[in-house]
Amino acid sequence: MMRLRVHHLLCSALYAGRGYSEAFCENMQHVVEWLWNSSYAQKKERQVMLVSGPDQVCSACPNLTADGCSLEDDQVVGKDIRLAQALQLETQKVYAVSGLLAQVSQNLTEDIFETSCKKCDWYEMGLCDYEKLAQKYRQI
């Protein structure tokens, strides 16, 4: 089972190989492979614990401190909680990957994406956009 914070459901779908460090990128690539690049049967078997705190992605991130994410004084926790509500997901709950991705696909809107992502550095660098995200979720 993998711990995954809610907003990483969007980051992992749009991941393009850039990151905070080499170790971060290697780990993120592993998460993307595990979550996205697997068969439907694997997605039905694999499980995610959805969280609003440090997760598998954060574990290799230089921004992670003992007090949580150092970016924006850990306001990222609020971002996870708001996104979970918008997508009708629950934190501290275990989901099969297949069901989790399907639920995001069903509930995701451009407004939800913009609200969650528009203040992020990667968004401001032009690496993330709703059409790419929606297309990825349409393909599951």
Which residues contribute to the site for ligand SF4 (CB under 6 A)? 57-58, 61, 63-64, 69, 71, 76
Q: Which residues, other chains included, contact 38 with Cβ-Cβ below 8 Å and sequence gap of 6+?
A: 46, 97
**Six token digits for residue 104:** 């995001």
CB of 39 to ligand SF4, least distance (A): 27
Question: What three-state secondary structure class fits 1?
Answer: coil
Q: Residue 138 Cβ, how far from ligand SF4 at the closest point, in Å?
A: 25
CB nearer to ligand SF4: pick between 11 and 100: 11
Q: What H or E segment, with its residue span, contains residue 69?
A: strand 68-69
Of residues 6 and 97, the one with the C-beta less far from ligand SF4: 6
Nearer to ligand SF4, 32 or 71 (CB): 71
